[in-house]
Amino acid sequence: PGEPPRLLPAVHVLWQPLMAALQGPRAPVAERAAGAVAEVTIAGGASFMASRWRSQAWPALASLLAGRPIPPPRPGVGPDERTEAPAAAARARLAALRSLTATAECTSSRGVLQVVAAEVADAVVEGALAADGHPPAVHAAARQTLAALAAVDVDAVWLALTSIMPQPRPAAPAPAGCRDLTEVLPRKARTQPLTAAGAARFEATLSCIADVTPEWHGRAVLATSVNNTAA
């Protein structure tokens, strides 16, 4: 459950300044704001925070994952502090991942992710896990985020990973009379093919989430096969 009502007005007052910090051009400020977003979301609870988190916090966190500044840097902000500078972008991306992980791991706050779980999974995969150029700490944090997100929507995480793998491994044997899920899975076109190192990271992440819900993969195979038959 969320915090008692007396805390909620304080959360309301803090939110807009926090969003301004998260969306600003200074990476050190955005890093700290990303951590604070998770803390405030956990304190406020999913039911109170869901709308504002999805409409305001998530787009800003997604921007940090993608390495884009919001808004464009203002005069007077040094190039090394801007959220699109390589080292600063890596730190900001890491902060965004940790914020998402903390939000997904806490039962009182993970509900804010339910509607956008697929979008979040795709952003983490494309913005942090797939690219070889990120530091190892970013790759490790991305795996942790996806593992935590699997507690919210494991199907979304599995689909985000396997839809861009060159040879996705089956989630489970297909039921009798049904096609395997990997045969009917929509494929995502990528300008840069997934490298061997990237595929290894994907496999390691899949291993982390495979046993979250024992029945999920069988249901996914059946549902997708039935939908394709109907189509």
Read off the pLDDT of residues 91-108 as tens digits, 9 standing for 90 and up: 999 999 999 999 999 999
- Report CA torsion sign: 83, 87, 93, 97: negative
Residue 26 φ/ψ, nearest 5 degrees? -85, 115
Q: Which two tokens stand for residue 10?
A: 């304080």
Lowest mean pLDDT among 19-28, 119-128, 131-140, 160-169: 160-169
pLDDT tens-digit map of 60-74 = 999 999 886 544 555
- Highest mean predicted confidence (pLDDT) among 168-172, 197-201, 221-225: 197-201
pLDDT for residue 1: 47
Percent of the chain at pLDDT exceeding 70 = 67
pLDDT digits (tens, 9 = 90+) for 2-14: 445 566 777 878 8
Confidence check: pLDDT of 171 > 60: no
Whether the Cβ atoms of residue 27 and residue 93 lie closer than 8 Å to each other: no
Q: Residue 19 corresponds to which tokens in the numbers above? A: 């969003």
In tens, the pLDDT along 114-152 reads: 999 999 999 999 889 988 889 999 999 999 999 999 999
Q: What is the pLDDT of residue 214?
A: 41
Compute and round to an integer the Cα radius of gyration of the chain: 19
Residue 144, pLDDT score: 94
CB 58 within 8 Å of CB 77? no
